Structure 1
Amino acid sequence: MVINDKDLLDALSSSRILTSMITPAVLISACGTLIFSTSARLGRIFDRVNVMKSELEDILAGKLDYPEQRMASISAQIACAKKRATLIQKSMAALYTSTAFFIAASLAIAINTAYGSPQNAWIPTLIALCGGLFLFAASAILLYESRFNLTFVNRHIDFIEFLQERAASRSRGDT
């Protein structure tokens, strides 16, 4: 099929192309928002691991009471943080893949609207569906990771309660 210059200009100036590309653009924006918030979650894990590292150094230097309990608490939190970081990395990979599929779908829609035929309309749809599957997978991984976040927080609260109990028993004169 030979396309002359006028047909090419008419195809590219059609508002149908931009209108058709809007849905993938919204999904690309949603992926971007999730990538941003997921990156922030990873950053918070990194910050907490640095705090635990400092606490571990203080334990090893003998600066903190209850070193055995602190070591056990830090070990459990480190294991949880490691699992969380792995899950977040997997979800980010799925989000980036989803974004790539949505961008490809948007481009495929533009190409199909300008030059394609109704028989090829399934191609952009299939590409967008692949993006949707990766977006779903990322959301499922993030949901699973949030359970580890709750475990992480609860373990930290448990240790704070332990320290509070010890402080209360010291103030009562118990040993």
Structure 2
Amino acid sequence: MNSLFTLPAFFQNLSSALNVLTAMLTPALLLSATGSFIISTSNRLGRVVDRVRRLSEKMEEMIRAGSESDFDQEYREEISRQMEVQSKRASLLMRTLMALYMASGLFVLTSVSIGFVSIFSAKWATIPVILGVSGAVMLLVAAIRLITEARLALDGLHEETDFLRSLTTRHGTNSAKVIS
């Protein structure tokens, strides 16, 4: 009896079936790594959003206070510059998350396609390879973007520290109390 659910001849032994399952697990491990990247990137994005909100609140306070001193003007300009850096970071992190989500989808498709190719026809064996390599490339793109974002964060921190140091030097120790 020839049924749709009859296993192909190469699945008739346990070894062949286990080889297919093993091949399907490799993308699952990469999917797990991608999930870790997604969680950490989402956390980074959340910290950027929190930072922008704090900067926005500080700017609102300064605008409401209405002071036009040189100190306040310099500080408002610095807050605007910091908000621009945070905006760039947020955009980069969003593009990174999109790459990570695409990598996740590609790894799932790789695993599924390995199963289908194993059951239906080995002539389509290049499909899981292409999907797997595409997922790995997306993971690499995301890693490069995360490196870039980390560099932006560090540069922003250095610029902010330098600004506060110069502000304190120019306006005396009283400016440190106003900033905090």
Q: What TM-score comes out, normalization by structure 1 length?
A: 0.85
Distance 1:39 1:169, change over 3 A: closer
The correspondence of residues 102-113 of structure 1 with structure 2, limited to 5 A, is 102-113=107-118
Q: What residue identity is the alignment partner of 1:32?
A: G
Q: Aligned residue pairs: how many?
A: 167
How high is the sequence identity, in percent, across the aligned residues?
29
Distance 1:162 1:111, change over 3 A: same
The correspondence of residues 85-164 of structure 1 with structure 2, limited to 5 A, is 85-117=90-122, 119-164=123-168
Q: What residue identity is the alignment partner of 2:76?
A: M
163, 167, 173: which one pairs with 2:172? 167
The answer to whether the aligner puts 1:72 opposite 2:77 as a matched pair is yes
Provide the rounded CA distance (Å) in 2 between the counterparts of 1:44 and 1:5: 51
Distance apart, 1:164 and its partner CA: 3.4
Deviations 1:20-71 (A, max 9, x none): 1111011101110101000011000011011101110121122887211111
Q: Which runs of 5+ in 2 are unaligned?
A: 176-180
In structure 2, the partner of 1:28 is 31
Q: CA RMSD in A?
A: 2.4
Q: Which runs of 5+ in 1 are unaligned?
A: 171-175
Is the Cα contact below 8 Å between 2:7 and 2:119 reproduced in 1?
A: no
